[in-house]
């Protein structure tokens, strides 16, 4: 391949205490937690808004609760609280969430459904970040790291203001893809073990009519009722058994990787219909991703056509929103000091350095956490191996696919974000590496900020 030698440049520099790279699911919470602990935090986000995959890919926030409805012996408990719950509270006030409504069908998958309005999520989280005093570098891409001997001195960003070097004491990688960790020389793999997706918001539809369509074919597998457009007791979540539907619908839906799950907080709108596409190579390959983007847009059009053709009441369905680019469930897997195992998750293990408890598994009821309980995510699972001042959160941790099917879900990522932001702020205050932060200090700070922990 021909190459070009880029000339060296003097870059303007900025200095902060904590850099949070990526303002998505985990990053928003990490930046809030850091700033509320009194440090000067900057959030570097490549898009013009916050929320990441929460506002681009998923159907609902899974899950603030243990799976108590599937396990009659299990006590009902809200296992993720703190800042993630505060975001839900703020969304409810703004008309942007159903809150935690109970599933009436499919509660062996999740006991609750927490549906959100993605646009309100963006606005509410931006307001919270502003109020907390986080410096926002939106529309800014992190493109490099200045690192040596296992320590990051700074990161390099690009925006329309040019290329800059941003220095800090402690760094948190919340980019989903692990861009910062990879630039800084961390160990990583690219398992390419999931489909990518570009989920669509569909307007001109009726969830009640979609429910009637699924019910008429005895195909309803999940359902929850809650507030929708200001009225209580409405259908807000649905899933259906594709194979039970008319062959024309079922076969085409399978061919375009269409998921039948949807949620909403509004009449006439499905928040997301997922179109999945399995790439042959890792989603860090620019050329393969370009081809996948084209294919996914074709699938989106075909999905809406299926609703128009087969689902009475959805004849005027149209694509109301798409994501700016496809979403991934895993890009890079970053090597951390501890790798949560399948057994840790399924056997409900807790650790002496737990930073949160979690009780949801995306493969339930096939794979569930023992007895409807929880497992713990240990602090060392967030510490990037070999880099003394870098923490990682979200979909980039946990190598085992079955364990990752739990740790990567939105509410787990949010909880990890709170722990990482809090730990980073404490590392600044104590002028220490992430590994040298005394766990009792972190635990005390998390508990006083409302984080729920279950003892070993």
Q: Which is nearer to ligand FAD, 144 or 313 (CB)?
A: 144
Radius of gyration for the chain, computed over Cα atoms and rounded to the nearest angstrom: 22
Interface residue with ligand FAD among 18, 20, 27, 452 (CB under 6 A) is 27
Question: CB neighbours of 186 closer than 8 A, spacing ≥ 6?
Answer: 178, 334, 335, 384, 385, 386, 387, 390, 392
Name the residue with tokens 């949807």: 262
- CA distance linking residue 36 with residue 237, whole number of Å: 34
Q: Which is nearer to ligand FAD, 98 or 175 (CB)?
A: 175
Supply 167's token pair: 């220095």
Q: Which is nearer to ligand FAD, 357 or 413 (CB)?
A: 413
- CA distance linking residue 167 with residue 146, whole number of Å: 9
197 binds ligand FAD (CB under 6 A): yes
Q: Name the nearest CA neighbour of 98 among 53, 52, 59.
A: 59
Name the residue with tokens 């979540």: 237
Q: Which is nearer to ligand FAD, 212 or 220 (CB)?
A: 220
For the CB of residue 409, give the shortest distance to ligand FAD in the complex, in Å: 4
Site mask for ligand FAD (CB under 6 A), range 44-83, x = bound = xxxx----xxx--xxxxxx---------------------
Site mask for ligand FAD (CB under 6 A), range 28-47, x = bound = ----------------xxxx
122 binds ligand FAD (CB under 6 A): no
264 binds ligand FAD (CB under 6 A): no
For the CB of residue 263, give the shortest distance to ligand FAD in the complex, in Å: 8
- Please tell me what DSSP assigns to residue 371: G
Residue ranges of alpha helices (H) inside 231-285 are 247-255
274 binds ligand FAD (CB under 6 A): yes
Helical packing angle, 439-448 and 410-430, nearest 10°: 120
Site mask for ligand FAD (CB under 6 A), range 141-170, x = bound = xx----------------------------
Residues 358-417 that bind ligand FAD (CB under 6 A): 394-395, 408-410, 413
Q: Which helix (H) or strand (E) holds 231?
A: strand 231-240
Site mask for ligand FAD (CB under 6 A), range 223-262, x = bound = ----------------------------------------
279 binds ligand FAD (CB under 6 A): no
23 binds ligand FAD (CB under 6 A): yes
179 binds ligand FAD (CB under 6 A): yes
Residues 318-337 that bind ligand FAD (CB under 6 A): 327-329
Q: How far apart are the first and last CA of the chain?
A: 55
Supply 196's token pair: 């990518």
For the CB of residue 149, give the shortest distance to ligand FAD in the complex, in Å: 23
Supply 421's token pair: 């932001």
For the CB of residue 448, give the shortest distance to ligand FAD in the complex, in Å: 24
Centroid of chain to Cα 407? 10
Stretch that binds ligand FAD, among 18-26, 118-126, 242-250, 439-447 (CB under 6 A): 18-26
Question: CB neighbours of 287 closer than 8 A, spacing ≥ 6?
Answer: none
In the bound complex, which residue of the shown chain has the CB atom lying closest to ligand FAD? 24
Q: Which is nearer to ligand FAD, 300 or 409 (CB)?
A: 409
Name the residue with tokens 């459904």: 113
176 binds ligand FAD (CB under 6 A): yes
Name the residue with tokens 């024309």: 248
Strand order from edge to edge, sheet including 151-159: 13-15, 162-167, 151-159, 141-148
269 binds ligand FAD (CB under 6 A): no
C-beta atoms surrounding 189 within 10 Å = 13
How many angstroms separate the Cα of 252 from the Cα of each of 249, 347, 424?
6, 38, 48
Interface residue with ligand FAD among 118, 175, 335, 398 (CB under 6 A) is 175
Q: Which is nearer to ligand FAD, 41 or 327 (CB)?
A: 327
Residues in contact with ligand FAD by CB under 6 A are: 21-27, 44-47, 52-54, 57-62, 141-142, 174-177, 179, 197, 199, 274, 327-329, 394-395, 408-410, 413
């Amino acid at each position: 391949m021909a190459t070009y030698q880029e000339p060296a440049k003097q870059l303007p520099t900025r200095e902060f205490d904590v850099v949070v790279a990526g303002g998505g699911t985990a990053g928003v919470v990490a930046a809030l937690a850091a700033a509320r602990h009194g440090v000067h935090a900057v959030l570097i986000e490549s898009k013009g808004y916050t929320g990441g995959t929460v506002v681009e890919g998923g159907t609902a926030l899974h899950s603030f609760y243990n799976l108590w409805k599937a396990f009659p012996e299990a006590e009902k408990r809200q296992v993720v609280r703190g800042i993630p719950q505060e975001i839900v509270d703020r969304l409810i006030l703004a008309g942007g969430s159903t809150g935690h409504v109970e599933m009436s069908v499919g509660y062996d998958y999740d006991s609750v459904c927490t549906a959100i309005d993605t646009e309100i999520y963006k606005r509410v989280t931006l307001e919270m970040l502003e109020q907390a005093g986080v410096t926002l570098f939106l529309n800014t891409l992190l493109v490099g790291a200045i690192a040596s001997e296992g320590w990051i001195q700074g990161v390099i960003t690009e925006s329309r203001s040019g290329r800059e070097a941003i220095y800090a004491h402690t760094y948190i990688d919340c980019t989903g893809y692990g861009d910062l960790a990879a630039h800084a020389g961390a160990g990583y793999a690219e398992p390419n073990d999931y489909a990518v997706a570009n989920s669509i918001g569909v307007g001109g539809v009726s969830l009640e009519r979609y429910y009637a369509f699924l019910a008429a074919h005895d195909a309803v597998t999940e359902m929850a009722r809650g507030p929708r457009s200001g009225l209580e007791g409405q259908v807000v979540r649905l899933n259906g058994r594709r194979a039970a539907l008319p062959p024309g619908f079922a076969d085409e839906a399978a061919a375009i990787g269409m998921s039948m799950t949807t949620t909403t907080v509004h009449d006439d709108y499905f928040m997301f219909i997922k179109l999945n596409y399995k790439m042959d190579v890792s989603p860090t390959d620019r050329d393969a991703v370009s081809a996948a983007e084209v294919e996914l847009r074709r699938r989106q059009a075909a999905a809406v056509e299926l609703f128009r053709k087969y689902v009475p009441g959805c004849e005027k369905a149209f694509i109301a929103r798409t994501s700016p680019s496809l979403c991934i469930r895993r890009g890079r897997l970053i090597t951390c000091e501890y790798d949560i195992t399948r057994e840790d998750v399924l056997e409900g293990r807790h650790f002496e350095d737990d930073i949160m408890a979690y009780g949801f598994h995306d493969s339930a009821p096939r794979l569930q956490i023992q007895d409807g309980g929880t497992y713990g995510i240990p602090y060392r699972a967030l510490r990037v191996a070999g880099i003394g001042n870098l923490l990682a959160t979200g979909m980039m941790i946990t190598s085992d696919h079955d364990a990752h099917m739990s740790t990567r879900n939105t509410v787990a990522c949010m909880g990890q974000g709170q722990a990482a932001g809090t730990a980073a702020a404490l590392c600044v205050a104590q002028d220490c590496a992430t590994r040298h932060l005394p766990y009792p200090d972190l635990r005390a700070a998390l508990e006083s900020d409302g984080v729920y922990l279950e003892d070993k």
